[in-house]
Amino acid sequence: MLKSTYKPLILPKLGWDKNSMTQTFGALVAQPLEPGFGVTLGNALRRSLLGAIEGSAVTSVIIKGVNNEFATLPGVAQDTMQLVLSMKQIVIKNTENKSGTMKLNVAAEKQERIVTVADIVPDSHLELVNKDHVLAHLAAGASLDIEFFVESGRGYQLAQWPIGTSLEKDGRIYLDAMFSPVRNVALSVEKTRVGKDIDYDKMILEITTNGAESPVDVVNYAVSTLRTQLENFLMDKEIPFNEISAPAEQDVTEQDDDVDDEGLKDLPLEVLLKSIDELELSARAHNCLANANIERVIDLVNVSEDDSLRIKNFGRKSLDEVKDILRSLGLRFGMNLKEEAIAKALKKRNAGK
């Protein structure tokens, strides 16, 4: 269906609700979207967020003195089944996405003791998030010795008991695991106005995680997953809608103004108007961008990811480097920001000081 000309698409503006943003919750607002695309894109993102995000969890344990999940330990208030249920709620951040182990060795010598996640010693690439989570209660004189085995994966995994054996020689107990760091995703779609047209969509995604990953990171992962899958459906040369489309100039309501202001208010406006030297890029990435006449940060964020990969010698490694630096500043590729709007917002900000 290749033609010489195409009608442009409306490109949405994205912003996070900074008032409610935490490490475990974020509300992403995208508007305006082409009619019907709020549901189309929202459902795709929601499904990807709930089922495609990688995470880490405890998949098996060795509890000293126990060889099955129905046993009990002297001096421990919880039986093994209760211990296993508590272990499933341990939240783990895996910095290298590799398998690892964690160890717990505690004793209540003279008085009762509460055992929490904070008592676990993990491998260096594993970080425990919910350290206040209670695992067990020990009576005086009791002890608890556990080795945890951590793996990475997607979604839900049944306990991987070896076929043909009833008990493991090392006493290992296998757990079913929920790897995904995403706990809930709520989608709502409203109507918004562009000029005199009132049929455009405003999409709001409210994302709750377990703290192992932030809402911003899981959205980036979900979009990357969808993009990778959809690229395989291209049957011919891609239609360059990014080149012919632009964000809409909305005739917005008062609520829409708040979203737009929020989007600019929390951006590093001074940085946007400075040289890319401020980003402290590697020599290779910096030289590639400079040779492409990308001299300021605003010039960089207005380039799409696709266009950046067309820059001579600017490969995927350089792209990932720049994306990480931009993300740390609250910026990204393809923002399509206008210098006049930034200058106006910066003037307003300085006047308010």
Cα separation values, 197 from 15, 116, 193, 249, 329, Å = 22, 57, 6, 12, 34
User: Is residue 254 one of the residues assigned to a domain?
Assistant: no
Model confidence at 258: pLDDT above 60: no
Any residues with CB less than 8 A from the CB of 40 and at least 6 apart, and which?
none
Provide the residue type at 11 as one letter. Answer: L
Q: At what angle do helices 254-265 and 339-351 cross, to 10 degrees?
A: 90
What the block records as the tokens of 195 is 């000029």
Same domain, 168 and 98: yes
Read off the DSSP letter of residue 324: H
Say what the pLDDT of residue 251 is.
45
Return the CATH number at 294.
Answer: 1.10.150.20
Select from 157, 154, 210, 159 the least CA-distant residue to 185. Answer: 210
Same domain, 205 and 312: no
| C-beta separation of 222 from 48 below 8 A | yes
Residue 2 or 233, more confident = 233
User: Is residue 197 one of the residues assigned to a domain?
Assistant: yes
User: Is residue 253 one of the residues assigned to a domain?
Assistant: no
Same domain, 134 and 211: no
| C-beta separation of 249 from 283 below 8 A | no
Cα angle: 5, vertex 7, 8; to 5 degrees: 115
Mean pLDDT across the stretch 202-210?
94
Instruction: Indicate the burial class of 155 (C-beta count within 10 angstroms; 0-12, 13-18, 19 or more).
Output: middle
pLDDT band at 186 (very low <50, low <70, confident <90, very high): very high
Same domain, 195 and 341: no
Same domain, 90 and 142: yes
Provide the residue type at 22 as one letter. Answer: T
Same domain, 145 and 66: yes
Return the CATH number at 81.
Answer: 2.170.120.12
Same domain, 59 and 163: yes
| C-beta separation of 193 from 252 below 8 A | yes
Model confidence at 254: pLDDT above 60: no
pLDDT in tens, 43-94: 999 999 999 999 999 999 999 998 888 888 999 999 999 999 999 999 999 9
Across all residues in the chain, what is the average pLDDT? 86
User: Is residue 261 one of the residues assigned to a domain?
Assistant: no
Model confidence at 107: pLDDT above 70: yes
Any residues with CB less than 8 A from the CB of 264 and at least 6 apart, and which?
341, 342, 345
Same domain, 168 and 60: yes
- Out of 152, 178, 204, a domain closes at 178
Same domain, 62 and 133: yes
- Out of 145, 178, 211, a domain closes at 178
Structural domain including 294 reads: 267-353
User: Is residue 170 one of the residues assigned to a domain?
Assistant: yes
Model confidence at 269: pLDDT above 70: yes
Return the CATH number at 4.
Answer: 3.30.1360.10
Q: Which secondary structure element, helix H or strand E, spans residue 197, and what is its range? A: strand 197-209
Same domain, 161 and 109: yes
Mean pLDDT across the stretch 28-56?
94
Whether the bond between 181 and the residue before it is cis, its omega within 30 degrees of 0, is: no
Same domain, 194 and 223: yes
User: Is residue 191 one of the residues assigned to a domain?
Assistant: yes
**C-alpha to C-alpha distance for 333 and 327, rounded to whole angstroms:** 9
CB atoms within 10 A of CB 134: 12
User: Is residue 257 one of the residues assigned to a domain?
Assistant: no
- Out of 248, 282, 301, a domain closes at 248
User: Is residue 231 one of the residues assigned to a domain?
Assistant: yes
Same domain, 80 and 28: no
Model confidence at 246: pLDDT above 80: no
Select from 149, 155, 353, 175 the least CA-distant residue to 270. Answer: 353
Beta bridge partners of 54: 154
Select from 178, 179, 186, 213 the least CA-distant residue to 22. Answer: 213
Our count of domains for the chain comes to 3
